[in-house]
Structure 1
């Protein structure tokens, strides 16, 4: 039996899919209402839909209304899962036709109990065994795919809000106050006040506006990095042309992530954006006190068995493909200048980022590299000593046309809730270049790139993953390492020099 999991948060979808798969459901995911309607039209009738309320493009309430107006899905079980668990919200969901309502954060046990009460769980020995494993595992926070051993004892994330707008600071403080596990311990109206606060208080994450008086966000970020190099900083900025360029500069300068400010002026829309986009990112970049990013369990030294697989492989590198997400701009700024050696193979990059940003990123990286960095265009020839960046919102593939290799853009369905997707790029490279493909999976949430790496590995190509300590989020590379696909696991400062050395060797 099938289940359709609808939520704009990748970590939440991952949790729900894991639980439902253990209950013998075949899960299909969608990140918003528009995508969900497309999934429904192409999949077998699901036995269950889980539905988040606040989502971009089409929210859960609108989608629920459309589902209930369709004769085909009129009696389909729909469980709404949302952080907005006020009495009014629950009543509104039930009036629209929700079968049940589960409040975030939830545990697998809580969700299973509700599904059992609805008679949606098929009782078999295999199901009972899977369910037992799921329930025995740690509880999961619904905003991140991280176990919570004991919520009562877990210390909240201490957050400093820095924004010159008193209204924004107010609504952020009020909304985050109701989110479990997050505590706003201070606010500041400009960068100087933020730096003064950091000298006196222990902070886990800084949420930082860009355009402020006295000291703007970029200068504040530089000062923070000088003194608190590992303190997570999430930028909170507008997606205007000016705001996008400034945000990109901050990401290259070391900001861990960003969240676009809501364009709507009503409080409900702003609260929805905070819950659906900001909170998951805060949880993703958070490092508990005592976590030393210099000492990860998965870091590979020069003598580690996993890295020896790469050193033993004799490979001619014809193309380098890179997949990266959270923390990507600064990681690319670290790596790419090392790879601009003479006669270097073409480099093709998928960075999960809106279309407003990718052009600015290419322009910024061009200033740091000897080779040209450009946003890829459809039909563009793939050439040595060039670096191509997938434009936001479009998949990017490599195709062969006669004896030439070209880049192709298309708007196919998102994969792993991503467009562009690293899997799309990686598969195309494996089909054309086979064992001459080198794939690099860098910091980022989710598992995009995993399936593509499987294909590259099966063709005899090389897969390199960034290690956990140097990653902002060890999601994408972590999945590749745990699947046994990585020929080398390298710290960020080793990736560029090691690949450059390989390129020089093949030229000798």
Structure 2
């Protein structure tokens, strides 16, 4: 077995450090090499043990997580930092800023470690993100991945981990669909997960002032975080972005963001298209999920949908893109090199459902071309 992923846990609560460390140590492919009660201690431990992944609390004495974050990245620009915070508006905002400053992802800590359901979700998400980010780092550096249970090394995804059926994306052949330029898209739909906020900020910064159609985004996030994400996108995109509201009418020049814990769909009524929210069971272990959004858009707009699948774990969005591809809609997938985790876009690209697989920097131009009837 190849060496396990090296993790450091940083939290001022000895109780939280304890159960995080215990959970991580239970996995054969993960090793906790250090723990620390604040950022200052974490920096010293980092230089001793050189962890690949750091689970970093936000609020700590002496040196908090936001102060420690850039110092950790300075020590190792390839380190993957997962911010851990409780679900408050303040911490959600700090987490968004941490992502913009180089953190790879975040995990919302359960309000109570006694709640079995909350602990189970947090446990599953933490393990999945450590594995996915560790795999991304090692592949970038050309290092071997640890095997799981004696099997082949894989790129794990949230869905794959839960189903015990991992998917290998590295080196998979990408088959692009041809596209016959015809009717212009009526809407833009975007799906994203791990690394998604940073990718969304990058895309909309370059598209500022260039979009007049309705935009629908499903980003895997809890409720408190989606509210903050909407605020940040409004500032960056120069167009109103808000959590979608059940029953609201669809308008051009607006960004509708799926609220945390709700699937966002679109329905057509007598007086036009409207948002319809539901709390149907999670799909791909996620709520909100991309697939329900895409299915509903296909029912309302047919092939006249431009879809972008950004970085993220798992394969949410693949089935929706399959429906869209069968109708002749246009799909853009983020490439592996610029994805934090090439799960969602990789699933679409390797299934031959995308018309273009491009870098994050090139996605805005690809969107403009597709909207103007000049898809590449």
User: TM-score w.r.t. structure 2 length?
Assistant: 0.82
Residue of structure 2 aligned with 1:323, choices 187, 191, 194: 191
1:279-318 matches, cutoff 5 A: 279-287=127-135, 290-292=138-140, 297=171, 306=176, 309=178, 313-318=181-186
For the pair shown, which has the larger CA radius of gyration, 1 or 2? 1
Flag structure 1 segments of 5+ consecutive residues without an equivalent. Answer: 1-152
248-257 vs 267-276, greater mean Cα deviation: 267-276
- Partner SS state of residue 349, structure 1: strand
Using the TM superposition, give the Cα deviation of residue 399 of structure 1 relative to its aligned residue in structure 2, in angstroms: 2.1
**CA distance 1:269–1:344, shift in 2 (3 Å):** closer
Flag structure 2 segments of 5+ consecutive residues without an equivalent. Answer: 143-169
Instruction: Give the aligned partner of residue 367 of structure 1.
Output: 235
Residue of structure 2 aligned with 1:194, choices 26, 42, 48: 42
Instruction: Give the aligned partner of residue 347 of structure 2.
Output: 479
Contact 2:173 2:350 in 1 (8 A): no
Contact 1:172 1:274 in 2 (8 A): no
Using the TM superposition, give the Cα deviation of residue 211 of structure 1 relative to its aligned residue in structure 2, in angstroms: 0.6
- Partner SS state of residue 292, structure 1: helix
Using the TM superposition, give the Cα deviation of residue 314 of structure 1 relative to its aligned residue in structure 2, in angstroms: 4.4
**CA distance 1:489–1:342, shift in 2 (3 Å):** closer
1:169 pairs with 2:17: yes
1:179 pairs with 2:27: yes
CA–CA distance in 2 between the matches of 1:487 and 1:280?
29
- Partner SS state of residue 302, structure 2: helix
- Partner SS state of residue 419, structure 1: coil
**CA distance 1:397–1:263, shift in 2 (3 Å):** closer
- Partner SS state of residue 176, structure 2: helix
Using the TM superposition, give the Cα deviation of residue 220 of structure 1 relative to its aligned residue in structure 2, in angstroms: 2.4
1:130-145 matches, cutoff 5 A: none
- Partner SS state of residue 443, structure 1: coil
Contact 1:162 1:187 in 2 (8 A): yes
1:34-433 matches, cutoff 5 A: 153-225=1-73, 228-264=76-112, 275-287=123-135, 290-292=138-140, 297=171, 306=176, 309=178, 313-402=181-270, 404-433=272-301
1:436 pairs with 2:304: yes
CA–CA distance in 2 between the matches of 1:448 and 1:289?
22
**CA distance 1:503–1:219, shift in 2 (3 Å):** farther
User: TM-score w.r.t. structure 1 length?
Assistant: 0.62
Instruction: Give the aligned partner of residue 469 of structure 1.
Output: 337
- Partner SS state of residue 415, structure 1: coil
Higher relative contact order (CA 8 A, sep 6+): 2
Contact 2:181 2:373 in 1 (8 A): no
Contact 1:175 1:271 in 2 (8 A): no
Contact 1:299 1:490 in 2 (8 A): no
